[in-house]
Amino acid sequence: MLCSIVLALCFISLCQCEEPKSCSQFYYVDKLLEKMIRIELKGETLDKEIADTNSNVHLTLDELKRERDNFKNEIMEFKNLMKDFKINTDSFIGTMENKFLGFKTETREIIKNMATPNVVFKARTVKDKSPSKGETIIFQDIMFNYGKAYDETTGVFTVPVNGTYLFTVQVCLNNNKSFYYGIVSDYDVHTSGVFHDSTATICYTADATMRLDVGQKVWLKCLYGSPSGDVFYEYTTSTFNYWNTFSGVLVHV
């Protein structure tokens, strides 16, 4: 390509000489060298521009690569932050849920402890109307028994919950009969006395308040033997009753 350019320049230079005879060999050589130098200079300039362009392109590409890497790093950091945020958020939510559940449990326990359980019973109808000394008076017909603590087969109340209890008894005696009674807890007498009236059939009442623990037992006991014959009187009509009863209630835990 360069040779073709040189030959073309030589041809042009020869054609521009009006008097070929007067143009010396050195004249053409000078012209040819001058043109070649100009072409070489332009080529060098073009090469420099191309080199500069390539350098700028490489610099730009390197810069883009760095920006791309920085962007990727920022994306990864953002993902890690979001992951940490999610973990921390889940942990926070889990902690709050556990605290809330614990609070609910504690609140329920407090309310449960504050509320007095429904423990109350009442039974009537004495099984043995002529009890002997030391005998437990069994009231065999249950009127109600919330808490299932009274046993109508033994006449004994077994404490289901620690607390303060109130027990009451009513006994109706036949004329001229006596009944020596004791309301006892685990064989400790809490209330005792004697019921007697020689003039008529009368019902008497007695009560006892006790602070008891789970498992303790309470019953009505005959402290002394009675004369022969039925001591207790039972009578039921649609309008009037002579009932022998034993009842108890949990007052406070």
For residue 28, the 8-state DSSP code is H
pTM of the model: 0.57
Domain boundary among 44, 76, 111: 111
| Distances from the Cα of 16 to the Cα of 28, 108, 177, 180, 244, angstroms | 10, 117, 170, 163, 156
C-alpha angle with apex 137: 131 to 140, nearest 5 degrees? 120
Query: 72 is written with which tokens?
Result: 């990727």
Question: Which DSSP helix (H) or strand (E) runs through 245?
Answer: strand 245-252
Q: Of 66, 83, 111, which residue is a domain's last?
A: 111
Domain limit, last residue, from 111, 142, 160? 111
Same-domain status, 27 and 46: yes
Residue 91 has φ and ψ, to the nearest 5°, of -65, -40
Residue of 209, 207, 204, 119 lying closest to 168 (CA atoms) = 207
Is the same domain home to 105 and 171?
no
Residue 62 sits in the same domain as residue 145? no
- Render pLDDT for 57-104 as a digit per residue (tens, 0 to 9): 778 888 888 888 888 888 888 888 887 777 777 777 878 778 778 777
Domains identified in the chain, total number: 2
Tens-place pLDDT, residues 115-166: 778 999 999 999 999 999 999 999 999 999 999 999 999 999 999 999 999 9
Residues 107, 136, single domain; the answer is no
